[in-house]
Amino acid sequence: MSTTKSAKPKIHQLITLALVALTIIFMVFYGSLPVSYDYVVGSITDQDIYAPRSFIDSYETRRRAVIARDTSADVFVRSDKKAQECIDRVDDIFDLAEQTRKNATQTRPTQNTVNPSSIASQLSISVEQSLGIKIESENFVVFFETNTSNTTFTYVREKTISMAELIMLGEVNDAILPTKISEQIDTFRESSPSYSKYADTMHVILTAVLEPNTVYDEKATYDLANNAYNAVINEPVVVEKGTKLVESGSIIDEHIYSNLVELELIRDSSFNLVILARCALYVIVISAATVVYLNIERKKLKVETPVFYLLVITFLVSIGASVYLSTLSNLLCIVVFFAAVCSTYLGTQNGIILSAVNLMLIWPMHGFDPETFFINLVGIILCSIFAGRTDKIINNAALIFFPTITTIAASFAYNFLIGNTRTEYLNSLVFTFLSTIASLVAAIGLSPIFELVCNAASPVKLISLSQPGQHLLKRLFLEASGTHSHSMMVANLADSAAEAIGADSLLCKVAAYYHDIGKLENPEYFTENQHDGVNPHDSLTIMESVAIITRHPEDGVKLAKKERLPNAIIKIIDEHHGTTYPSYFYRKAVEDAKLRGLEPPDVNNFRYRGHIPSSRESAVVMIADTCEAAVRSMKTSDVQGAEQLIRVLIKDKIDQDQLINSGLSFDDIEKIVIAFKQVYAGVFHERIKYPE
């Protein structure tokens, strides 16, 4: 925001904005501080405590994570070596059985009889001594019966080893090993019923020899436990806002105390520093975005110093009020108050954006409640639209009624969408109504004081000044009718040109109405007000005439200040002639000096004692005033001739350096010429000639 061309006010404003930012940081900080307690582990609470916001229950999350880690299963992996060792031991048993069969055959008595039980006992002893495996001898008897041929023995051996290989092929632990063995034996009984008598022995051998073929994997077990821990940590336990954390009369245990610390509800200066840092970062980010916007819009934002400080104060008031109001209800917020004031002086767009910034800075104090943000954002938009309108004066009742009804509707819609209870509906509607209507009544009630203090050109003020019944306009019409007619035409030109280049058309139009009020001091000395061919200048010297003519901007400024016109209009009155000079009287003085044989007079003695235009609006009024006066005096009646004259006059202003501080570009100049042509095209159109 800029008020003047000097650097000093800008420095003051930058310092002010910096102090405002610091003030907002501390307001947001204190407004965001939750209620804190002096409890320690073992304290007995004297009240219920609810979660002021949703948070992660770190204590419970860690507890569940530790349980998940400690209860995770051990990891075993298949060992080829161990599987092969089991298969080899089965093979070794049959080697011993085969060797025992051979020995029994070689030492067979002459009677041709053998005692299978005795031989089986020898095999049992050999297996235990050689392999360390205890198998009862009766289980081996079937191998030494007379009807067990070598072919049968070999078949049983191969089948048993094959079973062992199949069982050991997969991962086998203590739980499933017996089942796997039984399945293989049952399959053998079904597929080889004639050898079923060997099935029990095969089952005993496999049961005695085979062991789980998995070994403990320490790394995999650790990874599994760690993954189980991380899975719980990555999906933490979330406690929703409003959950009762502590019931009155209960004891604060470590879990509850941890939650209170997590929510920063335990008094500790270090926690306050953390909150302060968070608030500072939050405010700085929003402020930086706002500065970017203001920098982009700086050419359009011509804000006078009193208005600047008024907006700063109302901005801070709305934030400061929330420090207290938020403790009563999240829905008590007066951001609409700032929206009404801001939109009145800066227009709808800036009102919406800056009020949204105001709302975002207030939001942390209300616990980032989405309902508060939604309802107030709706209120800001509608309030800014009504308060920022420049096409007509908005009735104060309408400014109060429509935003209030809209925010109530927004409250109803939100609660309907969420599905809140009837009590929550009622609370929301009541607090929304109170906040909105109180904010708007305050803004409207204080507006006369704001205008008195700031003397700013707000849209409402400008529209009021544009009414024909205004005191100065009535005087201009009655006492200087020619000037009044000239001012009305200048207003039409200025309004059209300002709209074409994106300047403040309302300010240009109203300023044009008042730009020549200084002529009320001596209206008859200006050509447009002279009648019956009487010209008072005929009885004056050239310099006396020049003094009267060039003094009317100064007289206008004095009269405008007396009537308390807005400063923006006063500035345009002062600048509408810049530092030019009345060429008619200067040329007359040059001719007179030439006749007397004197040097031409100094042109600086003929100049207006105002300032060159400092804004696009001021430059537009200057150009419109010059062109309207020239077209009128030259009695130009066609658009082409008017355009040529307009271009010459604008070039003359550029040559005299009258537009160097106006901010107008050559593209703007071209748009102004086109806008003037359109106005004069309507003025010069042919009319139907009616019969006498």
Which contacts (CB < 8 Å, 24+ apart) does range 203-206 have? Answer: 204/135, 204/136, 204/139, 205/90, 205/93, 205/135, 205/139, 205/160, 206/90, 206/160, 206/163, 206/164, 206/167, 206/181
CA-closest candidate to residue 398, choices 387, 407, 408, 411 = 387
651 CA to centre of own chain: 47
Provide the 8-state DSSP code for 37: B
- 224, 73 in Cβ contact below 8 A? yes
- pLDDT per position as a tens digit, 353-401: 999 999 999 988 887 888 899 999 999 999 988 887 765 555 677 888 8
HSE toward the beta carbon, residue 13, CA cutoff 13 A: 21
Q: Counting every residue, how long is the chain?
A: 692
Specify the DSSP element, H or E, that contains 288: helix 269-296
Q: Domain locations in the chain?
A: 7-33+270-455, 76-216, 466-683
- 229, 69 in Cβ contact below 8 A? yes
As beta bridge partners, residue 251 has 44
Residue 674 has what pLDDT?
A: 93
Q: Which amino acid is present at 512?
A: A
Residue 573 has what pLDDT?
A: 93
Residues 6+ apart with CB under 8 A from 576: 515, 553, 610, 613, 618, 621, 622, 625
As beta bridge partners, residue 246 has 49
- 618, 573 in Cβ contact below 8 A? no
Query: Which mean pLDDT values do the consecutive 10-residue runs of the chain (692 residues) have?
Result: 45 80 84 72 82 83 91 85 90 90 71 73 89 89 85 91 90 88 91 89 91 85 91 89 82 84 69 78 91 81 80 90 84 90 86 93 87 92 83 69 91 86 85 91 85 75 84 89 91 92 88 91 84 78 87 92 88 92 86 85 88 91 92 81 90 91 90 91 64 60
Residue 5 has what pLDDT?
A: 42
CA-closest candidate to residue 189, choices 165, 152, 161, 156 = 156
Q: Which amino acid is present at 577?
A: H
E-assigned strand segments in 126-277: 214-216, 238-239, 244-246
d(Cα 497, Cα 491) in Å, to the nearest integer? 10
Class of domain 466-683: mainly alpha
